[in-house]
């Protein structure tokens, strides 16, 4: 009975087509919702520093310009607002690239100890302002070669250490440990003795624009994107990120990274045959 079979196949295919279309429409709706939410968040993030800059400039124009010390103070504040805008736009740029899969990782082998040391040097002034010490847990640390995208891993380490300073306490300590995890992996761990995070907030930390304390984060110049960027980069490396924290005691963020493969020394044929 070929006709019935055909009818059955046809019905099945029509049904499948309808289900596929329905799924496709649902997916488009989810994406549209996501896009709307993202744009809403973005304009909200940009508004605060823009209004700050506008406020200082208007006050200057309205007469504050005549006083030399006030003028300098307000211009500096306006400059800070612009700096913040630049940070936010750079983070937005990065998260857009990461989320659209537009970012190709460039793998190489590099010394992770040296990379952390470079980040320490870069953030020394920021840490000094809060009298926070940046240090390795083991003082005399040997080079450790790893395999990954060096610039992206530097961004991860930078974001995590910046957070340890932002949410650290005056006179606090940020310690970095590089732990031999398995034959193939090392763990990079950043520990602070700062404000810590309450348990119920931990699951949402890596969402974009999520902050435990909105005004605190904004005052520190945060875009709310730092940890979302960190998570994307680590996942693009097919590695893992962990967080442990105790409210009022401190936090510990760690991620895994692949060790550089040890190559067999190349045989020098001339030496063998001579
Ligand atoms: P931002 O710091 O710009 O707000 P992040 O994505 O880097 O955004 O971090 C999200 C939130 O996680 C922060 O607002 C803060 O509440 C919390 N957080 C991140 N790192 C730490 C830390 N080391 N100690 C305490 N809280 C932290």
Ligand 1 residue neighbourhood (C-beta within 6 Å):
163-164, 166-167, 192, 194-197, 205, 210-213, 217, 222-228, 251
40 C-alpha vs ligand 1 centroid, how far in Å? 21
Q: Residue 28 pLDDT > 70, yes or no?
A: yes
Q: Which atom of ligand 1 is nearest to the CA of 222?
A: 3
99 C-alpha vs ligand 1 centroid, how far in Å? 20
Q: Which atom of ligand 1 is nearest to the CA of 196?
A: 25
CA distance 205 to 227: 7
Q: Is the ipTM of this complex over 0.85?
A: yes
Per-residue pLDDT, 6:
78
pLDDT in tens, 101-128: 888 899 999 999 999 999 999 999 999 9
Q: Residue 2 pLDDT > 60, yes or no?
A: no
Residue having the nearest C-alpha atom to atom 14 of ligand 1: 211
Is 242 in contact with 186 (CB distance < 8 Å)?
A: no
Q: Tokens 């993030």 correspond to what residue?
A: 45
Split at pLDDT 50, 70, 90, the class of 222 is: confident
Split at pLDDT 50, 70, 90, the class of 3 is: low
Per-residue pLDDT, 5:
67
Per-residue pLDDT, 88:
92
Per-residue pLDDT, 95:
92
Q: In the predicted model, what is the mean pLDDT of residues 175-197?
A: 96
Name, in order, each residue with C-beta under 8 angstroms of 193's C-beta and a sequence gap of 6 or more. Answer: 168, 169, 172, 173, 249, 250
Q: Which atom of ligand 1 is nearest to the CA of 208?
A: 6
Per-residue pLDDT, 13:
87
196 C-alpha vs ligand 1 centroid, how far in Å? 10
Element (H, E) at 191: strand 185-192
Per-residue pLDDT, 268:
61
Instruction: Report the residue among 203, 217, 246 best suited for mutation to probe ligand 1: largest number of ligand atoms under 8 A from its CB.
Output: 217
Q: Decide the pairing of beta strands 250-259 and 145-149.
A: antiparallel
Per-residue pLDDT, 141:
76
Instruction: Report the residue among 126, 166, 191, 229 best suited for mutation to probe ligand 1: largest number of ligand atoms under 8 A from its CB.
Output: 166
Residue having the nearest C-alpha atom to atom 11 of ligand 1: 211
Q: In the predicted model, what is the mean pLDDT of residues 135-147?
A: 88
Q: Which residue has the higher pLDDT, 165 or 33?
A: 165
């Amino acid at each position: 009975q070929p006709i019935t079979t055909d009818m059955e196949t046809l019905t099945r295919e029509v049904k499948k087509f309808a289900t596929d279309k329905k799924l496709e429409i649902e997916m488009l709706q989810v994406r549209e919702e996501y896009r709307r939410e993202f744009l809403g968040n973005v304009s909200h993030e940009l508004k605060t520093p823009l209004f700050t800059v506008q406020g200082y400039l208007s006050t200057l124009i309205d007469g504050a310009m005549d006083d030399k010390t006030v003028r300098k103070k307000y211009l500096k504040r306006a400059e800070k607002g612009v700096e913040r805008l630049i940070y936010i736009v750079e983070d937005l740029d990065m998260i857009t690239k990461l989320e659209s899969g537009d970012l190709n990782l460039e793998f190489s082998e590099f010394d992770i100890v040296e990379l952390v040391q470079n980040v320490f040097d870069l953030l020394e002034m920021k840490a000094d302002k809060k009298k926070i010490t940046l240090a390795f847990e083991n003082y005399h640390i040997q080079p450790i070669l790893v395999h990954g995208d060096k610039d992206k891993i530097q961004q991860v380490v930078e974001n995590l250490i910046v957070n340890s300073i932002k949410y650290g306490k005056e006179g606090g300590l940020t310690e970095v440990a590089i732990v031999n995890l398995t034959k193939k992996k090392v763990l990079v761990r950043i520990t602070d003795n700062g404000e810590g995070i309450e348990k119920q907030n931990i699951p949402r930390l890596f969402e974009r624009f999520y902050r435990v304390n909105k005004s605190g984060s904004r005052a520190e110049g945060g875009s709310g994107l730092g940890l979302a960027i960190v998570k994307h980069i680590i996942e693009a490396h097919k590695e893992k990120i962990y967080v442990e924290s105790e409210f009022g005691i401190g936090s510990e963020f760690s991620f895994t990274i692949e060790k550089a493969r040890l190559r067999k020394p190349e045989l020098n044929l001339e030496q063998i045959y001579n």
